[in-house]
Structure formats: C-alpha cells, structure tokens
Structure 1
Amino acid sequence: MKVLIVLFGLLAWIGCHDESGDVNEQVYETDATWTNMLATDGCSWHFSIASKDSTYSVLPNEASRAKIEKELGKIEDYYSFTPVHLKYSLTGSKSTVQCGWGRTATYDEIKVVEIRKK
C-alpha cells in the first residue's frame, strides 16, 4: 500500500512539474518609439516608452533585432523616430548603447515578443 501511495505521489509531482523557464515571465504591452538620435548627440537605436510621469528607455536583446528589422526594415538611419506598438518582457539584464560625444548609456534589456508599426 505504501508503494502505491509513493508511486501516485511521484506521478502527481511529475504531472504538475512545469518544464517551462518562462513561468514568471511577465509580458508588457505598450506604445513606444523606436528611436535613434545619434546624429543629434543622443543615443543610438533604443525604445523610448512614456509612462505617467516620465519617459524611460530600453534596449532589445540580440535575438529581438531580427524581429524588429522584419517589421520595421533595415536599421540604417542615424536619426529616426518610429512609433510602434510593443509587447515585451524584461530579460533581467542591462545593455549599453552608443551615444553622442563618445559616451554610452546603460538601459534595461528586453525580449521583444511582438512589434507592430503604428
């Protein structure tokens, strides 16, 4: 009888065990601007997201670049503002971007789930 209880317990544990690493991944959805202001001493390609009181910037991870280029086209301009609708999740990492006057900025890194040009 004890063997059956242990066996059923193991089967229940295996059945409830989730292999997905994205269980706690929260997906955010917002309007944003895909921005490059390097030509005016701002920062190169990043997303600007307006919140209630301020605007913050985030950078896509390397895997998201292909998805962005597929929707918005090849990244070649040095000054651009493209309004987009963005679904993303935070990766928990930071990334740096080139800015004017030889400086860099560090922003949170995101994984783009979906992007649509407005």
Structure 2
Amino acid sequence: MRTLFFLLLVGGLSCRNEKAADQEPSQTEPAFIYANNLASDGCEEFVRLDHGNPSTDVMYKPTVTSLPILQNALRTLPTGTGSLEHPVIIRFRETGNQVSLQCGWGSRPTIGEIEILSIDKR
C-alpha cells in the first residue's frame, strides 16, 4: 500500500512540474501584424513588436496552431498608415524556438516563434 501511495505521489508531483515548465509567462505588447505578401516579394505572415523604431523592432513568426488568430485579425482589423501593416495589441507567449520566415527572392531570415493568445485593435 505504501509503495502504491508513493508512486502516485511522485507521479502527481512530476506532472505538475512539467506543466509549469511548459507555461512561459504571456506578454502583451503593441505590435503590427502583416499579411502574407509572398506574391509581391514580401514575406509570409509575421508580427513586428512596436518599440517606436522599425530598425530596432523585433519580428516573430506565429506557430502553426496560432496562425489562424493572426489571419482572422487581418480580415477584421483596419490597416494603419501603410496599407500592409495593422496596428494591434497582441498577447503572446514565446516558444523559445527560432524558425525560418519565408520571404521573396529566396530570403529566409531566422526569427523567434510565438504562440499568439489574442489580438485586439489598437
């Protein structure tokens, strides 16, 4: 009986530890989202955090599972001053992965990957 109790206790504790390690804290930031513009030598869908200076802003690619959230926001939110960018407030979680962003002319910059949790109008 003690052995069974011990195994259940150890199993329960290890499950909680794994779950906590997988859950990175979410962040909420002002950002711009971009549609897939590969046809016009642009890039596939991506997010650029708005730190006030485009040269220092950080780009991210959404995970495959959170890409529909970005695509839905692109359909429903108005564009900003440029016709390609949509100013938003994005809540996301970094995955820690570096992924390739497909762009025109064969360019494939490596950028961080994020799981998008929500996108709201700015």
Deviations 1:79-100 (A, max 9, x none): 6110111111112222222334
Candidates 44, 50, 57, aligned match of 1:55: 57
Query: CA 1:42–1:70 in structure 2 vs 1: closer, same or farther (change >3 Å)?
Result: closer
Q: How far apart are the structure 2 equivalents of 1:104 and 1:112?
A: 21
Unaligned runs of 5+ in 1: none
* Equivalent runs, 1:39-118 vs 2, <5 Å: 43-51=43-51, 54-73=56-75, 80-118=84-122
What value does the CA root-mean-square deviation take over the aligned residues?
3.2
Q: How far apart are the structure 2 equivalents of 1:87 and 1:22?
A: 20
Q: Any conservation in 2 of the 1:92–1:108 contact (CA below 8 Å)? A: yes
Deviations 1:10-31 (A, max 9, x none): 4544454435754132211111
Please report how far the alpha carbon of residue 101 of structure 1 lies from its aligned counterpart in structure 2 after TM superposition.
Answer: 3.5
User: Corresponding residue for 1:34?
Assistant: 33
Q: Would you identify which runs of 4 or more consecutive aligned residues in structure 1 move more than 6 Å?
A: none
Q: Any conservation in 2 of the 1:43–1:97 contact (CA below 8 Å)? A: yes
Q: Any conservation in 2 of the 1:32–1:86 contact (CA below 8 Å)? A: yes
Please tell me whether Structure 1 or Structure 2 has the larger radius of gyration of its CA atoms: 1
- Normalised to the residue count of structure 1, the TM-score between the two structures is 0.68
Deviations 1:64-112 (A, max 9, x none): 11112223328xxxx6110111111112222222334432211011111
